Amino acid sequence: MSGKKLSIMDAVFLAGESRETMMHVGGLFPFTPPADAKPGFLRALADELRETPEIVAPWNLRLRTPELLKNPLQSWIEDDAFDMEYHVRRSALPTPGDERELGILVSRLHGIQLDFHRPPWELHIIEGLQGGRFALYFKIHHALVDGYTSMRMLASTLSEDPDDRDTPMFFSQRPRARPPTELAPPTLTTITDMARTQMGAAREAGRALMNVFRAARDHDRDLVSPLQAPSSIINRRITRNRRFATQQYPIARLKRIARATGATLNDVVLTLCGAALRRLLVELDALPAAPLIAMVPVNIRPKDDPGGGNAVGSILASLATDLEDPLARLQAVMASAQRAKAELQGMSRSAILQYSAVMMSPLSLQQLTGTGGRVRPAFNVVISNVPGPERPLYFRGARLEAIYPLSIPTHGYGLNITINSYVDTINFGFTGCRDSVPRLQRLAVFTGQALDELEAAIPQ
């Protein structure tokens, strides 16, 4: 039985797995059933998925040594006893289930650890929503497939044709074959070129890091440095229990703000999150004097990359939670995000990874030493914005209503906000520790109030 060794980043996600810090990501996908759906539509759907004749990699891969997650020689092997009944499950809400009950169920499902003796993913069919609607909840370990790749693979199951009933499921689709490439044996020249490339990347990363450290020395608040974030109540130790909340807004509202102010869509997203956090912490009498800092993942894959594994850089940006005025907050977020992104301009992929690794080293050190939640955080919250499909998608004739991402809280970083666009909407998914991040649903609602305030503040 052959094995595929884990990459360094994949192994880091696996090593971070514990009862409290579960390293799986997920997605919630609500659907409106087709007009011709029969009473047994969802039962037939579950039966169809469970009878899939072939499961392909990576969906049929499990760990070689599931009892030793921190094994430095860990690898993926094919699961000879793959059990689709285990991976595809049905759940039901008390009819008619509302959005709150759906959120409670998904929160509980997301707080259950994956079984590493099996391929680490699950697909839940959730029925009982109002109006005959249903939802799919999917979760997968970040070491097997990163969030970017899993979203692309899931999208391949959906169709732009509402009459399509035959598109194969993601776990039975073979990846597109790449043209075979012959690898020439290494020569002194190729080895020298590789070393020169890595040294060049190190110099690029080093120059950017010097700019960051110089900004910290000069008290330049726009370019955020590691450990600039204040301590806050959302940066404590966490438990295994999760809460999940969602919000959906017309993307045109955010784009209108961006056009009127010269901001990017992501600047507006960060500003709404910062405003919501400020309102919540003021309500709890727990707002730090210094602005909260967001870690913003940056996808560094080329457009034609098929995905697999992890390839993500990162920047740090101020959320300007110390500012009360909505427009002043947006301008401060814009300045901080632009300075951070400017450091990555012109960098090679390797340099970005090296730069990001150093910027995230305080986080890595806290996770390795178990001091997360006990010392000053490297940043306060992860906020990730992922572009989604621009056309309506269907699954066995059912129309996809929204895409709500779920992510990973860890010790010291009990809140994660992931945003995904879909057609003409933008969808916020708030994943938090149930016991250390209070009033998560209120935080989600506050983003809507922040959007209203920002619109009202823009000169007409």
- The CATH number that applies at residue 41 is 3.30.559.10
Domain boundary among the residues 156, 172, 188 is at 172
385, 444: one domain: yes
Burial-class residue 160 by CB neighbours within 10 Å (0-12, 13-18, 19+): exposed
443, 361: one domain: yes
Burial-class residue 335 by CB neighbours within 10 Å (0-12, 13-18, 19+): middle
Cα–Cα distances (Å) from 110 to 100, 119, 121, 226, in that order, read: 15, 16, 11, 30
Q: What is the pLDDT of residues 326-382, one digit of tens each?
A: 999 999 999 999 888 877 776 666 766 666 667 667 777 777 778 888 899 999 999
What global pTM score does this model have?
0.86
Lookup result for tokens 């993500």:
312
321, 239: one domain: yes
Nearest to residue 384, comparing CAs of 350, 421, 348?
421
Range of the domain at 274: 200-457
Domain boundary among the residues 172, 192, 220 is at 172
146, 274: one domain: no
250, 371: one domain: yes
Is residue 190 one of the residues assigned to a domain?
no
N- to C-terminal Cα distance for the chain? Answer: 66
137, 219: one domain: no
304, 375: one domain: yes
How much is the pLDDT for 198?
47
334, 219: one domain: yes
CATH for 219: 3.30.559.30
259, 358: one domain: yes
How much is the pLDDT for 190?
44
How many separate helices (H) and strands (E) can be counted in the chain? Answer: 12, 16
How much is the pLDDT for 306?
45
How much is the pLDDT for 311?
47
Cα–Cα distances (Å) from 392 to 54, 148, 158, 162, 388, in that order, read: 28, 19, 10, 9, 11
354, 391: one domain: yes
Is residue 278 one of the residues assigned to a domain?
yes
Domain boundary among the residues 172, 192, 227 is at 172
Nearest to residue 444, comparing CAs of 275, 232, 268, 266?
275
Is residue 187 one of the residues assigned to a domain?
no
Is residue 184 one of the residues assigned to a domain?
no
17, 153: one domain: yes
Nearest to residue 358, comparing CAs of 232, 196, 204, 235?
204
How much is the pLDDT for 81?
92
Is residue 408 one of the residues assigned to a domain?
yes
How much is the pLDDT for 12?
80
Q: Give the DSSP letter string of 32-56.
A: EPPTT--TTHHHHHHHHHHT-S---
Please provide the size of the chain in residues: 460
Q: Which sequence positions are flagged as catalytic? A: 142
How much is the pLDDT for 435?
92
Is residue 189 one of the residues assigned to a domain?
no
How much is the pLDDT for 249?
98
Is residue 366 one of the residues assigned to a domain?
yes
| Number of domains into which the chain is organized | 2
From its phi and psi, is residue 98 left (phi > 0), alpha (psi between -120 and 50) or beta?
beta
E strand or H helix that includes residue 29? strand 24-32
Cα–Cα distances (Å) from 294 to 109, 259, 430, in that order, read: 26, 23, 14
Q: Which residues of the chain have pLDDT under 50?
A: 1, 177-184, 188-198, 200-201, 204-205, 208, 218, 301-311
Q: Look up residue 353 and give its amino acid.
A: L
Is residue 188 one of the residues assigned to a domain?
no
How much is the pLDDT for 204?
47
301, 447: one domain: yes
How much is the pLDDT for 212?
53
